[in-house]
Amino acid sequence: AQSVSQHNHHVILSEAASLELGCNYSYGGTVNLFWYVQYPGQHLQLLLKYFSGDPLVKGIKGFEAEFIKSKFSFNLRKPSVQWSDTAEYFCAVNAPGGNTDKLIFGTGTRLQVFP
Amino acid sequence: DTAVSQTPKYLVTQMGNDKSIKCEQNLGHDTMYWYKQDSKKFLKIMFSYNNKELIINETVPNRFSPKSPDKAHLNLHINSLELGDSAVYFCASSQVRRAEQFFGPGTRLTVL
């Protein structure tokens, strides 16, 4: 069965600090990978996604993620965080094909950015 | 334009009651989902419908019954509500095989 691990449960940073959030998945086949963000009191929004091609993916708001197949990882990065990046971040994986689009989510990482 | 909408946004009710949450998407997607987000923010899929047909049913108590009158709507009916049902319920939709899902604003259910 697929699973997703996010080892950083709570990250606290000052503005302008660099960010890296870890995400590892367990599935041996082809996967689609996602990072979603949930701002306080809001719904999930897609930050970026990887289906195929260049393993370095750029998303919205200056976020990027790198897919490293050999490490089963899809870590999220941002060179300089802002207070407005305070949110919950979820990594998710899906195995394409078949008739379903079932997303498996990680447990989330809470990011707090202080001015 | 709201892509995925849910009503109500908040729902407070007593144990034992029956309640429904409605979801509508105007994206023309074929597949819709219900997720439950618990107090620790963990998101877990409950159901998935593709063109009004149930595709995924993830070991959810049969007190929960999804209903899809058409492919733009997926409603969730919950019978005999329990304290443990308190959570935020998110509806989502996607095109089949594309896997990118669009989420609604959530319904915060509180069972007293």
Q: Looking at the complex, does the CB of residue A77 fall below 8 Å from at least one CB of chain B?
A: no
Residues of A numbered 40-69 whose beta carbons fall under 8 angstroms of chain B's beta carbons: which are they? 42-46, 49, 51
CA distance B43 to B57: 15
Q: What pLDDT, in 10s, does the model give residues B44-65?
A: 989 888 887 887 777 789 999 9
Name the residue range of residue A83's domain.
3-114
Tell me the three state secondary structure of residue B104.
Answer: coil
The Cα-based distances of B47 to A26, A48, A56 in angstroms read 22, 24, 32
| Cα torsion through B39, B44, B47, B48, rounded to 10 | 130
Instruction: Domain ranges for chain B, please list them.
Output: 4-111
Q: Can you read off the two tokens belonging to residue A56?
A: 């370095």
First and final C-alpha spacing in chain B: 34
**CATH number of the structural domain B4-111:** 2.60.40.10
Q: What is the pLDDT along chain A (115 residues), one digit of tens a residue?
A: 678 999 889 999 999 999 999 999 988 778 889 999 999 988 899 999 998 899 999 999 999 999 999 999 999 999 999 999 999 999 999 876 555 567 889 999 999 999 9
Q: Looking at the complex, does the CB of residue B94 fall below 8 Å from at least one CB of chain A?
A: yes
Number of domains in chain A: 1
Q: Can you read off the two tokens belonging to residue A25?
A: 């998945």
CA distance A47 to A75: 12
Q: Looking at the complex, does the CB of residue B73 fall below 8 Å from at least one CB of chain A?
A: no
Residue contacts between A and B (CB atoms, under 8 Å): 58
Q: Which of the residues A43, A49, A86, A93 would you substitute to probe the B interface, choosing the one with the greatest number of B C-beta atoms within 10 Å?
A: A43
Domain CATH code at residue A94: 2.60.40.10
